[in-house]
Each structure stands twice: as C-alpha cells, then as structure tokens.
C-alpha cells in the first residue's frame, strides 16, 4: 500500500542499499527512494533463502520457488540485509520485480515510497489482504494472480513474472 512517512527520523542504521531505505509509515514500514531513480533503473536485489511455498513475506520466483529471509536476526539487520521484505503493495506501483531484481517502472522521486504489485509475482498469496492503495483500479482484495479476473490479468501482462505468463491466454503471454 502506498503510504507517506510519518517521521524522517526512522531507524536507518545499517541500511546498505544505495538506492533505498526502510522507513516508518502510517501503518508500519516501507521502502523509500534515497535518491531520484530513473525508469528502468535497478533499485535493489532480492536475496534470501529459497523456500518451496509462499509465506507472508516471501516473493515468488518460480512456480515452486519463493525467496524468504528465514534467518533469525534483529530488526535493524533485517532492514539492512532484506529491505525488499518491507516493500508495500500498490495496484499501480512504481516498481516491478524482474527475476531477482526490483526495477523502477517509472521515474521515482527522492523520498517517494517504492511499491510493487504483489499479483505480478504471487500465484496465490499465503495471506490475502485488503488493499488500501487508493489507485483508481484498486483490487480491493489482494489474493494473487490466479484470483484475478482475465481482464485484470491482461492489464498486468507486461509486468507479470515469467512463471505466471503460462496462465495468460496465448495472445497475452
């Protein structure tokens, strides 16, 4: 969900991503641009441990492969090592997951929250949720790509992960 920061003094010690940082939002935490980013620019790499099934915070990389940060570490180290874990969903995001990289879909201003559409990587959400992004075409309920209508799937075709393209009609894949 798109949020604005509630405080610029959020804990950022140890964050080593040169393009983004984790900050507090009105409803938790999110990833924010440290500097202006250009469309197509790499924001961060998605690193972690492979897991066979989705979890609340995993990102799906293939039909039977998800990446998760399963190591028991403190909050500051979690923000530093796995900033992607704090990415919020938006139905009209400014970034997309391409392989194991988060890439800017459009120019992103310094200080702007970086968001991505979970339905472009997740076949089925481990924990579906109500979306409050406020986008004109907000889904309302985020349950994963397979729960989308054919029209919603087609609207995401350009940004959907390769493992989900198999579910698109042949003319869209």
pLDDT tens digits, 86-134: 999 999 999 999 999 999 999 999 999 999 999 999 999 999 999 989 9
DSSP string, 53-78: S--SS-EEEETTEEEE--S---HHHH
CB 167, CB 149: distance < 8 Å: no
CA dihedral 96, 127, 124, 29 (to 10 degrees): 0
What residues make up the domain containing 49?
Answer: 20-118
Q: Considering the entire predicted model, what is its pTM? A: 0.85
Q: How many domains does the chain have?
A: 1
69 in a structural domain: yes
Identify whether 50 is part of a domain.
yes
Asked if residue 89 belongs to a domain, the reply is: yes
* Residue 15 within a domain: no
Token pair 């998605």 is found at 46
87 burial level (CB within 10 Å; 0-12, 13-18, 19+): buried
DSSP state of 105: S
**CA–CA gap between residue 22 and residue 27 (Å, rounded):** 13
Evaluate whether residue 74 is within a structural domain: yes
Q: Is residue 155 part of a domain?
A: no
Indicate whether 147 belongs to any domain: no
pLDDT tens column, 36-90: 999 999 999 999 999 999 999 999 999 999 999 877 888 888 888 899 999 999 9
Q: Domain holding 63: CATH number? A: 2.170.270.10
């Amino acid at each position: 969900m798109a949020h604005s920061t509630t405080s610029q003094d959020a804990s950022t010690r140890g964050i080593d991503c040169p393009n983004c940082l984790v900050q507090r939002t009105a409803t938790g935490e999110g990833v924010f641009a440290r500097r202006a980013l250009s469309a197509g620019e790499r924001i961060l790499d998605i690193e972690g441990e492979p897991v066979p099934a989705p979890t609340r915070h995993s990102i799906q990389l293939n039909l039977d492969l998800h990446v998760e940060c399963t190591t028991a570490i403190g909050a500051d180290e979690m923000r530093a090592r796995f900033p992607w874990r704090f990415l919020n969903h938006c139905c009209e995001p400014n970034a997309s997951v391409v392989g194991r990289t988060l890439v800017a879909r459009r120019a992103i201003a310094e200080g702007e929250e970086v968001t991505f559409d979970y339905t472009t990587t997740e076949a089925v959400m481990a924990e579906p949720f109500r979306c409050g992004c406020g986008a004109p075409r907000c889904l309302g309920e985020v349950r994963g790509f397979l729960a989308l209508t054919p029209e919603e799937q087609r609207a995401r075709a350009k940004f959907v992960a390769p493992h989900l393209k198999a579910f698109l009609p042949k003319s869209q894949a």
